[in-house]
C-alpha cells in the first residue's frame, strides 16, 4: 500500500527509501545502457559502455544542515560525496557538473565560502568542474541552499567489475575507518553538545584508499556508507549478493566520542552517516594485504577487517556481541539524523 504523503525518512537511505525508489522507478522502462549498471542495481552510480571503456556516472542532491559543520561544509561535502560515489563503482573521477540553488536573501559572503570550498575541493582531488547552473528561489521557499552534483569517471580496466551483488562465501568485509563520525558531529553541533575530544566530520575523498585497494586486487564490492550508515550498506551487500554477513562488535572501529554522543542522544552509531569511508568486500587471500596498504594511507589508519561472508541465512547481517551471543544488524527504517548529507 502506497503512503499518502512523502516523509523525511523516504530520502534517508533505509527501508523507507526503498519504498520511495519503487514509486520513482515504477514506470521507467529504459533502465540501463547496453550491459552497463543501471537503475535495477540501485548502486552508488551507473556505468555506460563506450567501446572498450566504461563511463561511470553518479548524481546527488546535498541538503545538509547546518551548511557549515564541524570538520567541513556543504561545498566540500557535495564534491567529495560525488567523487566517492564514482570511486566505489571502480571509476577514476574526471569531472563534475554542479547545480547551486540558493534562497533569496542568502548572505553573499556565505555563498562565496561555499563556492570557494567547491573549487578548492575539486582542485585538491584533480577533478574538473566542467559545467553548472545557478538558481535563486523566493525567500521562504527553500532553506538556505542546495547543491546538486553529477560526477563523471572512467573504468579503463576490462576485467574490473565492482558490484554490490558479487560477494561470495569466504570473502572478507573491511571498513576503511571509524563509523558514524559525520552524522554524530553534525548532531552534536546542532544540540550544542561538547566533548573533551572534539567531534568532527569524516568528510573527505576516498580516492586514494580505493586506488590503493584496487592496485592490490581481490576487491569485488564497494560502498560508501552514507545515508543509513554502515548498517544500511551491510544489508545492501547481504541482500543483493544473497549471502549473510557475520561481524564482530569489537572489531568495528567506533571513536569513543562517537559512542559517548550516540548513547547520550539515543542513536545507533552503525546507522549514522559516514562521508569519508569505504565498505569493501574482498577475497580472503587478498584481505590482509589490502588492509595493511589502506592503513598506510592518510585516512586509513583505523581500517579494520570486521567480518566475513557466509552462505547460510542469506540476506541477514549478524554481529557477535562482547558477551558471545549474536545480534541481527537490521537495515534502518531511515536516517536517524535528518539532513545529514
Q: What is the mean pLDDT of the chain?
A: 92
What pLDDT sits at residue 12?
63
Does 21 have pLDDT greater than 70?
yes
Angle subtended by helix axes 207-216 and 284-295, to nearest 10: 140
Query: pLDDT band for position 151 (50/70/90)?
Result: very high
Give the mean pLDDT of 1-30.
74
Give the separation between CA 68 and CA 186, rounded to whole angstroms. 9
Does 296 have pLDDT greater than 70?
yes
Domain residue spans in the chain? 31-155, 164-328
Tell me the pLDDT tens digit for each residue of 159-199. 899 999 999 999 999 999 999 999 998 887 777 766 655 78
Backbone angles phi, psi at 154, to 5 degrees: -140, 140
Could you say which architecture CATH assigns to the domain 164-328?
Alpha-Beta Complex (3.90)
Query: Number of helices and strands (H, E) in the chain?
Result: 8, 14
**Complete DSSP assignment for 220-243:** EEEE---TTHHHHHHHHHHHHHT-
Tell me the pLDDT tens digit for each residue of 190-226. 777 666 557 899 999 999 999 999 999 999 999 999 9
Give the separation between CA 80 and CA 203, rounded to whole angstroms. 7
CA contacts within 13 A on the Cβ side of 308: 11
Cell of 274: 559516514
Residue pair 93/146 in contact (Cβ under 8 Å)? The answer is no
Instruction: Please name every residue paired with 60 in a beta bridge, in sequence order, or none if there are none.
Output: 149
Question: Can you give the pTM of this predicted structure?
Answer: 0.92
Give the separation between CA 341 and CA 63, rounded to whole angstroms. 6
Strand order in the sheet with 145-155: 46-50, 53-62, 145-155, 92-103, 128-137
What are the percentages of helix, strand and coil residues in the chain, rounded to 5?
Answer: 35, 25, 40
Its CATH class, for the domain covering 31-155, is alpha beta
Give the separation between CA 259 and CA 232, rounded to whole angstroms. 18
Largest alpha-carbon pair distance within the chain? 57
Give the mean pLDDT of 19-31.
82
Q: Which of 69, 60, 62 is nearest to 201 (CA)?
A: 69
Cell of 277: 569511508
Give the mean pLDDT of 52-72.
92
Q: Do 164-328 and 31-155 fall under one CATH topology?
A: no
Q: Which of 318, 239, 226, 216 is nearest to 278 (CA)?
A: 226
Cell of 314: 542469506
Amino acid at each position: 500500500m502506497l503512503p499518502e504523503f512523502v516523509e523525511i525518512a523516504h530520502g534517508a537511505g533505509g527501508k523507507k527509501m526503498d519504498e520511495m525508489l519503487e514509486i520513482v522507478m515504477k514506470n521507467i522502462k529504459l533502465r540501463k545502457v547496453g550491459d552497463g549498471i543501471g537503475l535495477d542495481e540501485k548502486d552508488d552510480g551507473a556505468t555506460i559502455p563506450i567501446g572498450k571503456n566504461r563511463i561511470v556516472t553518479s548524481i546527488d542532491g546535498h541538503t545538509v544542515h547546518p551548511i557549515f559543520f564541524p570538520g567541513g561544509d556543504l561545498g566540500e561535502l557535495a564534491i567529495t560525496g560525488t567523487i566517492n560515489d564514482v570511486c566505489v563503482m571502480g571509476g577514476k573521477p574526471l569531472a563534475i557538473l554542479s547545480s547551486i540553488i540558493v534562497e533569496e536573501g542568502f548572505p553573499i559572503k556565505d555563498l562565496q565560502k561555499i563556492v570557494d570550498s567547491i573549487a578548492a575541493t575539486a582542485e585538491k582531488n584533480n577533478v574538473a568542474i566542467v559545467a553548472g547552473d545557478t538558481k535563486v528561489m523566493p525567500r521562504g521557499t527553500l532553506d538556505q541552499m542546495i547543491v546538486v552534483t553529477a560526477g563523471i569517471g572512467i573504468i579503463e580496466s576490462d576485467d574490473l567489475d565492482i558490484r554490490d551483488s558479487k560477494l561470495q562465501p569466504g570473502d572478507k568485509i573491511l571498513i576503511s575507518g571509524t563509523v558514524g563520525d559525520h552524522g554524530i558531529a553534525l548532531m552534536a553541533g546542532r544540540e550544542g553538545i561538547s566533548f573533551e575530544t572534539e567531534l568532527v566530520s569524516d568528510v573527505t575523498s576516498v580516492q586514494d584508499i580505493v586506488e590503493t585497494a584496487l592496485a592490490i586486487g581481490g576487491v569485488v564490492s564497494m560502498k560508501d556508507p552514507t545515508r543509513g550508515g554502515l548498517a544500511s550498506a551491510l544489508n545492501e551487500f547481504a541482500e543483493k549478493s544473497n549471502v549473510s554477513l557475520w561481524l564482530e562488535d569489537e572489531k568495528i572501529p567506533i571513536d569513543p566520542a562517537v559512542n559517548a554522543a550516540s548513547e547520550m542522544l539515543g542513536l545507533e552509531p552503525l546507522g549514522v552517516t559516514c562521508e569519508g569511508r569505504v565498505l569493501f568486500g574482498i577475497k580472503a587471500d587478498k584481505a590482509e594485504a589490502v588492509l595493511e596498504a589502506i592503513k598506510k594511507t592518510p585516512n586509513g589508519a583505523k581500517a579494520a577487517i570486521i567480518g566475513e561472508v557466509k552462505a547460510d541465512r542469506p540476506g541477514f547481517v549478524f554481529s557477535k556481541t562482547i558477551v558471545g551471543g549474536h545480534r541481527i544488524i537490521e537495515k534502518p527504517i531511515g536516517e536517524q539524523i535528518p539532513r545529514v548529507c
